[in-house]
């Protein structure tokens, strides 16, 4: 009978056959798709998840809290459709669809965790290439008024107004800030961070300012603060971020109410750009509706039927949880956020945990000021970013190998088993 290490090594080798091509293709395609056609990110994540299903394994003990929050959340989504405006299967993102995409997302993130030495050799370079190309494209778009975006659409026979082309091309900045932390870490592994970091940060700030999108710049600040927190306090920093995110999601309606009661809410909105003032009007309307059904909410996707007070959603993920799913949904959403940060706690400094914290903080920040929580492309981007962070939790293939065991009777485990121990 083969030793346990050898058996696990063969299993990991077989799973890497599926995970390596999926992750490398994602690393190149996801940044570009986030700029040119972000609606395809959900399909890309789902296809990659299906491709990696053969290597899917049971969750680790450390993931049980996250898995429980996710499963309970999907169950409550199903239940809330009973009193919501739409039946269970009336919308693309409901019930069974949510469960399927969640399962495929788990498979995709698991592929990143199972990735072995072959992925460690190929994936960082592919990710640096894809994100660097996106940064260069966004600089060109900012200088040319989305000239590339308009030219490609014209070649495809779809004319786009210049102002709408700038708006659509600017969506690439969201992919840049969400995938950027993983790309920076990958570049550190390749020894080229000196040129990548200024390029990514400069491209993000310049293109976001030129194309008039503020959320990515705010998310950059949140990512830097989260990364610094986890770097300085590897064990307690993630726990503090977990507690903060949990409290923020649960207390969001109260925070908006406090701002309104202060009498300065309207004055604050008047001093902001029109898009942000409109957000604040949505938030005021949302907390008023939340106060009417705070326990069970109005039902899944009820915010779609609340025009003109709301247009599609409140542009605040925490408020949308409260509005549609009530206290149980908000609690489970908060627990999900907290579980992500808690999983990054380490006994010592870990670049992987720093990268994960920066990515999660940027994603949470944008989710609190921009997109709806049921937008498939935004969920797909989050799953892809999580799989990239997981794939980079690997020992550097150029690092010195561990010393050989002195006892010749003990069979040395393969490199993939060593990687598994480091990941734990």
* Per-residue pLDDT tens digits for 83-96: 888 776 555 455 56
The dihedrals phi and psi of 373, each to the nearest 5 degrees, come to: -70, -15
User: Which is nearest to 249 in space by CA: 180, 345, 358, 325?
Assistant: 325
- What's the whole-number mean pLDDT along residues 140-169? 89
Residue 4 resides in a domain: no
Query: 352-364 pLDDT, tens per residue?
Result: 999 999 999 999 9
Q: Is 412 exposed, middle or buried (0-12, 13-18, 19+ CB in 10 A)?
A: middle
Determine contact, residues 122/94, Cβ cutoff 8 Å.
Answer: no
Task: Calculate the CA 352 to chain-centre distance.
Answer: 15
- If you compute the radius of gyration of the chain from its CA atoms, what whole number of angstroms results? 22
pLDDT at 15 (0 to 100): 55
Residue 93 resides in a domain: yes
Q: Among 69-83, 110-124, 264-278, 317-331, whose mean pLDDT is lowest?
A: 110-124
pLDDT over 50 at 5, yes or no: no
Determine contact, residues 73/374, Cβ cutoff 8 Å.
Answer: no
Task: Calculate the CA 231 to chain-centre distance.
Answer: 20
Q: What angle do CA 334, 336, 339 make, to 5 degrees?
A: 110
Residue 407 resides in a domain: no
Query: 365-413 pLDDT, tens per residue?
Result: 999 998 988 888 899 999 999 999 988 875 544 444 444 444 443 333 4
pLDDT at 381 (0 to 100): 93
243/248 Cα distance (integer angstroms): 8
Residue 421 resides in a domain: no
Residue 373 resides in a domain: yes
Determine contact, residues 322/330, Cβ cutoff 8 Å.
Answer: yes
pLDDT over 90 at 19, yes or no: no
According to DSSP, residue 55 is labeled G
127/24 Cα distance (integer angstroms): 7
Q: Please give the residue range of the domain that contains residue 296.
A: 11-396
Residue 416 resides in a domain: no
As a whole number, the mean pLDDT across the chain is 83
Kind plus residue range of the DSSP H or E element containing 158:
none
Query: 173-189 pLDDT, tens per residue?
Result: 999 999 999 999 988 88
> Is the Cα dihedral 298, 304, 309, 315 positive or negative?
positive
pLDDT over 80 at 75, yes or no: yes
183/178 Cα distance (integer angstroms): 10
Residue 408 resides in a domain: no
Residue 311 DSSP SS3: strand
pLDDT at 31 (0 to 100): 94
The CA-atom distances, in angstroms, between 333 and each of 141, 231, 327, 361 are 36, 26, 10, 15
The CA-atom distances, in angstroms, between 234 and each of 131, 373, 392, 395 are 27, 29, 18, 18
Q: What angle do CA 169, 135, 341 make, to 5 degrees?
A: 95
- For the chain, the straight-line distance linking the first and the last C-alpha, in angstroms and rounded, comes to 26
According to DSSP, residue 63 is labeled G
Q: How many domains does the chain have?
A: 1
Residue 202 resides in a domain: yes
pTM recorded for the entire structure: 0.86
Q: What angle do CA 146, 149, 153 make, to 5 degrees?
A: 140
pLDDT over 90 at 275, yes or no: no
200/376 Cα distance (integer angstroms): 25
- What's the whole-number mean pLDDT along residues 41-51? 86
Q: Is 273 exposed, middle or buried (0-12, 13-18, 19+ CB in 10 A)?
A: exposed
DSSP 166-200: HHHHTTHHHHHHHHHHHHHHHHHHHT-HHHHHHHH
């Amino acid at each position: 009978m083969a030793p346990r290490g050898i058996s696990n090594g063969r299993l990991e080798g077989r799973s890497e056959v599926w995970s390596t091509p999926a992750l490398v293709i994602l690393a190149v395609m996801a940044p570009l798709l986030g700029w040119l056609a972000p609606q395809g990110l959900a399909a890309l994540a789902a296809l990659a998840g299906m491709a990696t299903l053969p290597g899917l394994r049971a969750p680790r003990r450390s993931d049980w809290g996250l898995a429980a929050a996710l499963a309970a959340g999907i169950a409550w989504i199903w239940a809330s459709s009973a009193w919501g405006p739409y039946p269970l299967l009336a919308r693309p993102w409901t019930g069974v669809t949510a469960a399927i995409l969640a399962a495929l997302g788990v498979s995709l993130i698991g592929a990143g965790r199972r990735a072995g030495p072959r992925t460690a050799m190929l994936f960082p370079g592919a990710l640096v290439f894809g994100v660097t190309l996106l940064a260069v494209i966004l600089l060109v778009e900012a200088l040319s008024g989305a000239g590339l975006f308009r030219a490609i659409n014209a070649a495809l026979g779809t004319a786009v107004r210049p102002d709408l082309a700038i708006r659509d091309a600017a969506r690439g900045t969201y992919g840049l800030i969400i995938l950027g932390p993983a790309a920076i870490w990958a570049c550190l592994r390749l020894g080229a961070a000196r040129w990548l970091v200024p390029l990514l940060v400069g491209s993000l700030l310049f293109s976001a300012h030129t194309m008039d999108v503020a959320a990515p710049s705010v998310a950059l600040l949140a990512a830097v603060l989260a990364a610094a927190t986890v770097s300085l306090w590897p064990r307690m920093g993630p726990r503090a971020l977990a507690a903060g995110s949990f409290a923020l999601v649960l207390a969001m309606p109260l925070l908006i109410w406090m701002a309104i009661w202060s009498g300065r809410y309207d004055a604050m909105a008047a001093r902001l750009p029109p898009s942000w003032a409109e957000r604040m009007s949505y938030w005021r309307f949302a907390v008023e509706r939340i106060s009417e059904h705070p326990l069970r909410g109005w039902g899944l996707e009820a915010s779609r039927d609340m025009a003109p007070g709301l247009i599609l959603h409140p542009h605040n993920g925490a408020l949308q949880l409260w509005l549609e799913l009530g206290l149980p949904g908000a609690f489970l959403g908060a627990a999900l956020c907290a579980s992500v940060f808690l999983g990054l706690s380490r006994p010592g400094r870990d670049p992987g945990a720093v990268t994960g914290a920066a990515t999660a903080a940027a994603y949470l920040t944008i989710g609190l000021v921009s997109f709806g929580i049921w937008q498939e492309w935004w969920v797909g981007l989050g799953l892809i970013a999580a799989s990239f962070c997981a794939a980079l939790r690997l020992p550097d293939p150029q690092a010195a190998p561990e010393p050989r065991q002195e006892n010749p009777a003990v069979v040395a485990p393969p490199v993939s088993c060593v990687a598994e121990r480091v990941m734990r």
